[in-house]
Chains A and B, each alone.
Chain A
Amino acid sequence: MIYLELLWGFLKVGFFAFGGAYGAIPLIRDVILSYGWLSDDELTYMIAVSESTPGPIMVNLATYVGSSKAGLSGALLATLAVVLPSFFIILLVMAVLKNAVKNKYVQAVLQGLKPCMIGIVLATGIYMILHNCAADAAPDLKNIAVTAVLFLLFYGSRFALKKKISPILLIVISAAVGIIVF
């Protein structure tokens, strides 16, 4: 049942997505790939599209997956599912558990969750880069070269211009480089 799967899958994402947009990406990847809703490449393209369109990345991904798997009703269901956990948790915190966030046990749980998210996000980034550069254990020289150039631009600009290239600008640059190289 695709509707039940969408509902359950995105409720999980909504409930465990700590650490903002990028913190949630490993979890979304995990859910989307394990249900086989999108291929790894499709998901990566959609992350870029979500980054380049307004709105929270999680919501954008939920809408896209829901729509591509089950049309408008799928999109509505998946979006609702990803939003509902945080909606009700905030209401709960405001209305009933006013000091929940300060509670020392809640804090102890968060002390474990946040560093864990950081480790997961770092590992996901490293794995994606390595996977692009050497899919199927054979080094992909073109991808390695483009990745190196993007790395140099992204981090080089911080030292040279003391200014961060925004994620959207990096996506635009990488698209231009892609058109030239591939």
Chain B
Amino acid sequence: MNILADLFLTFAKIGSFTFGGGYAMIALIEDACVEKKKWITHDDMMNVAVIAESTPGPIAINCATFVGYRQGGFMGAVAATIGMVLPSFLIIFAVSQFLDHFLEIGWIHSAFMGIKLAVGILILDAGLTMLKKMKKKPFRIAIVIASLAAMMIINVFALHISTITLMVTAAFVSLAAFAAGRGGEAG
């Protein structure tokens, strides 16, 4: 099979069957690209995971672009990335056509009122999981606490301060601490 078509179909399959996004996908991508297709090695895969963590954007997209580029250059990256995105694009586009009407149905509205409460718990739990994985160093803990406090204040008082401002500030503080020679502590 043409490598571009193969990349597209492989990632379209992964994109169709992974729920919840993020880390759940890494296992599937590893299975398809390392075990079955042998496009990349296990070491490459570990490498992608590190790069994906250090770059913005959905981890699944990062992985698709990486593997696609490795196998088929720029066009390979395009084919794999489109393959990854297309299934969920089609599904969500279909959902968007009828969700509003759907929500007018009484019992579905009730269901979503329950679901709303679960989403808060899921987000809190995601934060706790990230916290558990973080190496506990005083500098990092201080940034977690400071940004948590700042974000709570922004939410409660509906301040017009973007989360991007918070992130850029944290990045600068960390960089300044590193440059000031406390890199050992910051790192």
Contacts and interface: CB of A to CB of B under 8 A. Distances in A.
Interface of A: 12, 14-27, 30, 34, 41, 44-60, 63-64, 67-68, 72, 75, 79, 82-83, 85-87, 89-91, 93-95, 101, 104-129, 131-132, 143, 146-147, 150-151, 154, 166-168, 170-171, 173-179, 181-182
A174 B175 contact: no
A129 B121 contact: yes
13 contacts: A17-B58, A20-B22, A20-B58, A21-B59, A22-B126, A45-B112, A48-B112, A48-B119, A56-B61, A86-B58, A119-B143, A122-B124, A124-B127
B114 A174 contact: yes
Contacts of B121: 125, 129, 147, 150-151, 154, 170
Contact of A119 (B100, B148, B187): B148
A89 B52 CA distance: 10
B51 to A, nearest CB: 6
Contacts of B88: 53-56, 59-60, 63
B170 A168 contact: no
For this complex, into which size category does the number of interface residues on chain B fall? 35 or more
Interface of B: 15-23, 25, 50-51, 53-62, 65-66, 69-70, 74, 77, 81, 84-85, 87-89, 91-93, 95-97, 99-100, 103, 107, 109-128, 130-131, 134, 139-141, 143-152, 155-156, 160, 162-164, 166-167, 169-175, 177-179, 183, 186-187
B124 A113 contact: no
A129 B21 contact: no
A60 B92 contact: yes
A1 to B, nearest CB: 20
B164 A27 contact: yes
- Of the listed residues B110, B148, B183, the one surrounded by the most CB atoms of chain A closer than 10 A to its CB is B148
A48 B115 contact: yes
Residue among B85, B96, B152 with max Cβ neighbours from chain A (10 Å):
B96
Contacts of B18: 54-55
A87 B56 contact: no
A146 B117 CA distance: 8
Contacts of B53: 19-20
B110 A179 contact: yes
Contacts, number: 372
By Cβ-Cβ distance, the 5 closest A-B pairs, closest first, are A178-B114, A86-B57, A55-B88, A112-B174, A125-B124
A32 B81 CA distance: 24
Contact of A132 (B20, B116, B177): B116
A56 B69 CA distance: 20
A67 B175 contact: no
Contacts of A106: 54
Contacts of A23: 126, 130
Contact of B175 (A49, A112, A154): A112
Nearest to B114: A178
B178 A101 contact: no
B100 to A, nearest CB: 8
Contacts of A146: 114, 117
Contacts of B114: 146, 174-179, 181-182
A68 B92 CA distance: 11
Nearest to A164: B125
Contacts of A181: 110, 114
